Every structure is written in C-alpha cells, then in structure tokens.
Amino acid sequence: MKRRAFLQQTTALATLASASSQASNQTIKNTGPIILSTWKNEKANIAAWESLQKTGRALDAVEAGARIPEADPNDTSVGYGGFPDRDGHVTLDACIMDEKGNAGSVTFLQHIMHPISVARAVMEKTPHVMLSGEGALQFALDQGFKKENLLTETAKKAWIEWKKTSKYEPKINIERHDTIGLLAIGNKGEISGACTTSGLAFKMHGRVGDSPVIGAAVFCDDEVGGACATGLGEFVLKTLGSFLIVELMRNGKTPQQACEEAIMRIVKRYNYKEFQIGYLALNKKGEYGAYAIQKGFNYTVTVDGKTTVIESGYYMK
C-alpha cells in the first residue's frame, strides 16, 4: 500500500472510531446531507437516508424514518405495539416541521398506524397546525388512512400486569429507547424535523406530552438549524426545549452548548434526579450535538450512507 493511501485510510478509520465510541460532549461537524435520530434507531435512519436518496428532501426523510418505529410491534413507546394508557387505549402523538416554517401535528390519535403521516397531511392539506382526538381520527380516515387495532398482545399483557398495582412510575431510559425525534438536512441544505410517540406507558387517559408540540419536541428554522427532544415530556413542555435550543444557536452557541444549556434550565428549576430528558441539535453548518440529564441517552447519525450510534454526554455523574 502506498504511503498516501495508507495515511488516508488510517485517518478515516480513526475519525469513524472516534465518532462511534465517544460519550460526546463536543459539537461534531458534517458537510452535506445528514440524518439524526434520538436513541438507537438505525432502521429508522436507514429508511430516512434511502428516502433522501430518492427525493432529496429532508421532510420526506424524517417522515420515512418516523414510520419505521411506528409500525414496529416490538417498540413499546411508539405507534403499533406502544403501551396503552391506564384505561387500555393506545393513543398517539406526532408532529412534523419543514424548512419553510410549516408544521403539522396530531394529538390523542387512536387506531391509525402512522400518526406522522397524518401530521404531515394536517400541515399540507389544512389551514391548521394541530388536530386532536376524534377530529384527528376523522381527518385521517377522510384522507384514506386505515383504522386498525394498535394494542398488541404483548402490550395488553403488560397493561394487565400493571393494573395489579396501578402504580405510575416513569422509568429512566426504559430499554434504551423512547419517543423518536428526527432531524435531517436535505440535498439542497434545507432542514426538517419530526417526532412520534405513544406517550408514557399507562398514563392518564387524555394525557398529551411534548411530542406533538412544535417548539417543545421539535423546532426547525432554516436560517439556524433544528432540535428535537425525548424523555419525560412535561419538562420539555415547561421549558420549550427545542425552541430554546434553536434560539441559543441563533445567538451563537454551538449545537452542543445549546443542548447543555437547555438541560441546565431543567436542572436548575426541577427535581431532575428521577427522570430523563435528552436533546439533539443540528445547525445549518452540519454541526450536531446532544446532551441529557442522566447517563444512557444515545443517538443515531447517518452520513454518506454510514450509520453510527453515539453515546450522549450527560449532567448527572
């Protein structure tokens, strides 16, 4: 092997190893299209990347990525297979936002496999941003979405077991997954974001967290960048975490610094030791960062068709 080729290969391998192994407390830079998602969601990222290769649009990519866990019966925190509320109903929330500032959202939606696609339809086919409950379901049916039973046998058994004690207790990093948030930069450099969830397991009937709320779970500004959130949504709502992160980046902070500041807003005000929040941010330069309250949050990055899971930095040591 020639010396130049050897050095190039060595440098590339070192860079990849560094990105894969770190519990990152530093902003990482990329140029060109990119897919980011919360947690270990390689399949979602791969679907998003494949969509990006077909259409070039970041919006298409984040929708395609979100649809993967929505249809996965083994994912107990998103879509089909999601754990129900305390009354046994699977209720779904989702939102999506494009580079032009357009947004769509559904809350308390039942019986529809892909709430993220309903949210996009709200954005593109109505004058509204958010539809909820029966209204969201009727809209979805009018748009041709199929009504389905989303309560799997596994989720039903877990609910029946929970009813023996009926104890509500959010679990930190449960199975190392939760609500999925996605961010993408498309072929033209535009940014979009999405979020989808079945919410907290065994929540009160009617509870809605941050996932369908623009500015809480997801926010994008094509002049600056985007951010998304995962974890106990009540505290993301109380601090409008994603909007906060984008505004911090607008005022000069890197994605990593902005995520850390957003976590500190929660830490300074609330009893943070019993729950988890994780933030993920991406700016228009292709720089990205993440931060969480507790150890255990990770995120997935796809660049040039290569997908890597990275451990996030965290506040509690």
**Is residue 207 exposed (0-12), middle (13-18) or buried (19+ Cβ within 10 Å)?**
middle
Please say whether the dihedral angle defined by the alpha carbons of residues 123, 236, 201 and 163, taken in this order, is positive or negative: negative
Angle between helices 58-70 and 42-55 (to 10 degrees): 150
The single-letter code of the amino acid at 242 is S
For residue 90, give both structure tokens.
Answer: 């699977």
Active site residue 107: no
Q: For residues 154 and 27, what is the distance between their CA atoms, to the nearest angstrom?
A: 39
Q: Which of 91, 179, 254, 300 is catalytic?
A: 179
For residue 146, give both structure tokens.
Answer: 């199929």
Helix (H) / strand (E) element for 97: namely: strand 92-97
Beta-carbon contacts of residue 169 (< 8 Å; ≥ 6 apart): none
* Residue pair 282/191 in contact by the 8 Å Cβ criterion: yes
**Is residue 6 exposed (0-12), middle (13-18) or buried (19+ Cβ within 10 Å)?**
exposed
Find how far residue 300's CA is from the centre of its chain: 10
Among all residues, which ones are annotated catalytic? Answer: 179
